[in-house]
Structure 1
């Protein structure tokens, strides 16, 4: 995927202060893109921008905000569009994960928080860009970061698995809506990627991939306009096999699987 002649690719990324979002920012910056970087931690955003703009200070725009603040997110989107004359790629990368149990009443706010961040904020990220994208030309992408966790539910991860399954279905619906306008909706489903989020896991993580390598593969898939891509590919094969298993077999195989630790209330 390349920009129109004479201008860099314009890319807006949420969750950019760490993990997958930061890795994607580095990958696009290496390709000469102009970035809009959203994250809650202002200092981390400034450190990332300093790393990315050593040759061209001030090239990227930083938005220190919480994606749950939809009005602030919309203001950031319009500021980026106005500053750069349009938009090419929007990546909804902000996400959280907590171990949850339905029978524990104190976990209900965690369910709500995970859905608000992983699902509703994805919608709020895309919404203010769609009008500009429809008016634009060339390759335009709306990118949802899902997860292989959205393929089947796992013990103790009901909130995260269900939220990512919702992201996958939402992106599929949006893809049908955007196709007539030449806008590609891309779902990237990471497996286990080495980020601060996964470093909290206390169980084996097959095919664990460095964030930088993941980002390089994701950028290529986004550029190609792939509708759905699991990275790494080995997890894609595993996910397809899990989806094909009869429920009785799946239940037996994962009855004693380790589960993500619940968040301990302060």
Structure 2
């Protein structure tokens, strides 16, 4: 099992469950997230084997500082999980939603590269087995109405992980793409549509870690949601779109049930400010 892990998005949901599993298994764990209280509760499980970090994952300098501190205290990780992510509805016709897309890409896509980058050369130099895990989504397999920003960020992440996997084939490092379906977390709490295969974070965390340990490069949580998504993809695009258009859409920023997006302010989504209209 893994002995030295770094996990972003460790404050709740899947990340919190992953951290708890690894701590219980005796691993040293870097807990990276924005909610210090939630991270402190995890760290209390094993104060001598954990450290807390609260950077913005899209800030490369802050992530490099985090990595430098962890490497100085615990050496190179053998498990690096880029799990931090945000979700929300998106409407292209609304200029305010462009800020939502920008922030979502910064966290969901750029944030994975800023997580991997400061550790990668040290892990390569060590010439020891190690796993780099990016948490994408089945939403990255095909665009869904009203969810363009999230789908684009996860599709981009899947392509990035494919590229990185090819680059590292000759090394001792492996790259794993995780595509969850619907997990019972804060990101899905506001959904009003059907969520087939809804999975609890604890079960998802155990399945993810088993899959990585067994060398599976593509992990779908749960597997049956992957089969359903692939079956739908066999339909003509017009039929597929019609089915999806009939579903309720994910709440957009500042709508009831929307999940807060860190770093996105009211000013960012103020249409009057964006279009320079007088108030």
Quickly name the TM-score band, shorter chain normalised.
over 0.9
RMSD: 1.3
Which residue of the other structure, out of 19, 29, 32, is the alignment partner of 1:35?
29
Q: Distance in 2 between matches of 1:243 and 1:225?
A: 27
Q: Distance in 2 between matches of 1:233 and 1:157?
A: 22
Instruction: Indicate yes or no: 2:221 matched with 1:235.
Output: no
Find the counterpart in structure 2 of residue 6 from structure 1: none
Aligned residues: 256
Find the counterpart in structure 1 of residue 10 from structure 2: 16
SS at match of 2:29: strand
Residue 244 of structure 1: how far off its partner (Å): 2.7
Where in structure 1 are there 5+ consecutive unaligned residues? Answer: 4-8
Q: Distance in 1 between matches of 2:214 and 2:51?
A: 26
Which residue of the other structure, out of 216, 237, 244, is the alignment partner of 2:234?
244
- Map 1:87-126; keep pairs closer than 5 Å: 87-126=77-116
- Map 1:136-147; keep pairs closer than 5 Å: 136-147=126-137
Residue 17 of structure 1: how far off its partner (Å): 1.0
Find the counterpart in structure 2 of residue 148 from structure 1: 138
Q: Distance in 2 between matches of 1:82 and 1:224?
A: 29
Where in structure 2 are there 5+ consecutive unaligned residues? Answer: 256-265, 267-279
Q: TM-score, normalised by structure 1?
A: 0.92
Q: Flag as ranges the 4+ runs of structure 1 deviating above 4 A.
A: none
Residue 122 of structure 1: how far off its partner (Å): 0.6
- Map 1:43-62; keep pairs closer than 5 Å: 43-50=37-44, 52-53=45-46, 57-62=47-52
Residue 77 of structure 1: how far off its partner (Å): 1.1
SS at match of 1:181: coil
Residue 139 of structure 1: how far off its partner (Å): 2.4
